[in-house]
Structure 1
Amino acid sequence: MKPQNVFEGIRTDLSNEVFEPLEDNGKVLIERIISKGHVTPEGQWYDQDRSEWVMVLQGEAKLVFEHAKVVHLKKGDYITIPAHCKHRVSWTADHPETLWIAVHY
């Protein structure tokens, strides 16, 4: 086994948001997400079958929930989003890019 570092190997082309699975056993998915000013398209909502725990390791982001509640996540902040809790990303920092860890379970 060789350790890996979540801050290494970040792509330089971030014209599209990047979703990279770090582990996936079919029950739990851990992914690294890299956003650089990316947002969820207007009118689109995430409505996931699994709960999601998400943490911002670098940068900042704002999540909007279906009933207009806005949550501003800064470096080190995390939140649990229950399954089928509709939400969207309304803003992400572009400098430095926003680096997230998401755990879907």
Structure 2
Amino acid sequence: MTAMYNLFRDLPTSPDTRERIDCLLDRPGLRVERIVSTGQASPSGFWYDQIEHEWVVLLQGAAELTVDLPDGPQIVSLRPGDSLELPARRRHRVEATCADPPTLWLAVFWPSDAA
């Protein structure tokens, strides 16, 4: 039987101190994660600067990110159903996430040709 997983299973009922990251699929050249945020944000001054590409879709809750674009940082607000592609080395940070309901992300990662 094929592995089955419900993305809405075991969501926290109250805010937690850390994001929860569950790896759903890990294959050569592809990783899929479920990320559950309950009010977390990136620390002051911290930027993600990943060597792999990332595509995220927000399934529940809400989030605000700052994406460092060539013409300057831009704030992006995500609501359920919104998706965003973050190319490798595109600096970004999480400004805020909703705690109630928990913010539920599905993130897909794949290697950059330059990695």
SS of corresponding position for 1:53? strand
| Structure number with bigger Rg | 2
Match of 1:68 among 52, 73, 78: 73
Asked if 1 retains the 8 angstrom alpha-carbon contact of 2:58 and 2:80, the reply is yes
Distance 2:43 2:27 in 1: 29
Asked if 1 retains the 8 angstrom alpha-carbon contact of 2:32 and 2:107, the reply is yes
Distance 2:59 2:49 in 1: 24
Q: What residue in structure 1 maps to residue 113 of structure 2? A: none
- Structure 1's unaligned 5+ residue stretches are none
RMSD of aligned residue pairs (Cα, Å): 1.3
Q: What residue in structure 2 maps to residue 21 of structure 1? A: 23
Match of 1:81 among 74, 83, 86: 86
Match of 1:95 among 90, 100, 107: 100
Match of 2:46 among 36, 44, 47: 44
Q: Give deviations 1:63-99, integer Å, cap 9, x for gaps.
A: 1012220000001100100000000000101110100
Instruction: Please tell me the residue identity of whatever aligns with 1:63.
Output: L
Q: What residue in structure 2 maps to residue 3 of structure 1? A: 4
Indicate the larger mover: 14-23 or 77-86. 14-23
- Structure 2's unaligned 5+ residue stretches are 111-115
